[in-house]
Structure 1
């Protein structure tokens, strides 16, 4: 893809936000990462409401499960039920390796479940793998 890839990162941990931004800055693809810090903000972003009235429709959503106000599971269910946004691939990016969390994510239409590496170099490797698969190999629907 030659155009800029729009990524919505839904994450409340400042350290994980920074690590994700840095990891994707190491990738070859021109990515723009938009950050929302809870499920309610993410809903406003996806629905282009309030402060996000001019938000760009993301090409990919990176979603943490443990969020304040509205958790990632609730947001994932809303995304799956919304015909305007359900075509956007959602990757769960969580520190949880719980079988229950993994099963629930896929049951609610997550496209992938990735466990956040603690090691920054492994996180960069994970970002490159996401980039390679989702932006080079997979065919994504147009969201713009």
Structure 2
């Protein structure tokens, strides 16, 4: 937590390391995000789950995730098996203990109905995955920087 509020114009500095939950079934995209965290020296701890059911277990500390940390950010793919991203987003934002966690939908879909549905379900942001590696890296870094360094989080 920040000891003093940041004033407009003050440089952004990271004060703490936070946990980020990546909900991603695509191994290639997950590997890219892990590499981007390393390349950009993002110090946050990245935790990955492969589907929506596992995401809810992690967030609720059920099953094999009893010792899971409470993430400061969730990066959520939409198209997943078992429980899709829309269902995860709805469940998180209806849960009194979880709804304050920022959820960024990070997906390949550019469909207007997906964007509208996610914002209707209280997504904190909707970001389409760039097709090229450099754009992908810059986007992941920007999301992390904003939600984990710039934006203030509740205690």
TM-score by length of structure 2 reads 0.88
Separation in structure 2 between the aligned mates of residue 97 and residue 114 of structure 1, nearest angstrom: 9
Secondary structure at 2:81's aligned position in 1?
coil
- Higher RCO by CA contacts (8 Å cutoff, separation 6 or greater): 1
> Structure 1 residue 67 and structure 2 residue 101: aligned?
no
Task: Please give the alpha-carbon distance, in whole angstroms, between the structure 2 residues aligned to 1:52 and 1:141.
Answer: 23
Q: Could you tell me how far 1:27 is from its partner in structure 2?
A: 2.9
TM-score normalised by length of structure 1: 0.94
Instruction: Report the Cα distance in structure 2 between the residues aligned to 1:26 and 1:2, rounded to whole angstroms.
Output: 20
Residue ranges of structure 1 left out of the alignment (5+ in a row): none
Structure 1 residue runs of 4 or more that deviate by more than 6 Å after TM superposition: none
Deviation at 1:41, TM superposition (A): 0.3
Tell me the distance in 2 between the aligned counterparts of 1:136 and 1:77: 26
Q: Deviations over 1:10-65 (max 9, x none)?
A: 00000010011111223344111101101000000000011000000000000000
Q: Give the 5 Å matches for 1:91-106.
A: 91-106=104-119
Q: Tell me if the contact between 2:75 and 2:106 (Cα under 8 Å) persists in the aligned partners.
A: yes
Aligned length: 142
Find the partner of 2:121 among 100, 108, 114: 108
Partner of 1:120: 133
* 1:35 aligned to which of 23, 41, 48: 48
Gaps of 5+ in 2: 1-13
- Write the mapping of 1:127-138 to structure 2, written as runs, cut at 5 A: 127-138=140-151
* Distance (whole Å) between structure 1 residues aligned to residue 113 and residue 121 of structure 2: 12
